[in-house]
Amino acid sequence: MQKNKLLIIDDDLGFSLMVADYFKSQGYKTHTADTMEEAVKIYRRERSKVILLDFNMPLVTGEKLLPILQNINPEVRAIVVTGCIGEEVQEKFQGLGYFAYMEKAGMSLENLKQKVEEAMSY
């Protein structure tokens, strides 16, 4: 498991590509997935230490996907990055052991990078 690998799981392709391009420019090896099947396949192969995980995707929620990835690697650090606003979403993730929660609205790539670096060093 390389320290600088990052898996971005989000059904918003524009967001995923923007984040992937930014982190590539910062020296990270990035992968994107927009379905559960693709995310699991990539994660089994790449074993990224940190994942960026959308909460609300069409066929699966991040709440259901995170335990599957944790079963593959209990050490995975998930940063929930979502457009869903509110404590209800955070509460759903409380028992799942996510590393951080960030809302897409108003989020800067620099702040996201800081959270990723914290998760990488944890």
By CB neighbour count within 10 A (0-12 exposed, 13-18 middle, 19+ buried), where does 111 fall? exposed
CATH code at position 33: 3.40.50.2300
Domain total of the chain = 1
Token pair in block for residue 3? 């320290």
CA angle, 28 then 62 then 93, to 5°: 105
Backbone angles phi, psi at 32, to 5 degrees: -125, 150
Q: Which domain holds residue 63?
A: 5-121
What are the pLDDT tens digits along the chain (122 aa)?
Answer: 456 899 999 999 999 999 999 999 999 999 999 999 999 999 999 999 999 998 878 778 788 899 999 999 999 999 988 876 667 766 766 677 789 888 888 899 999 999 999 999 98
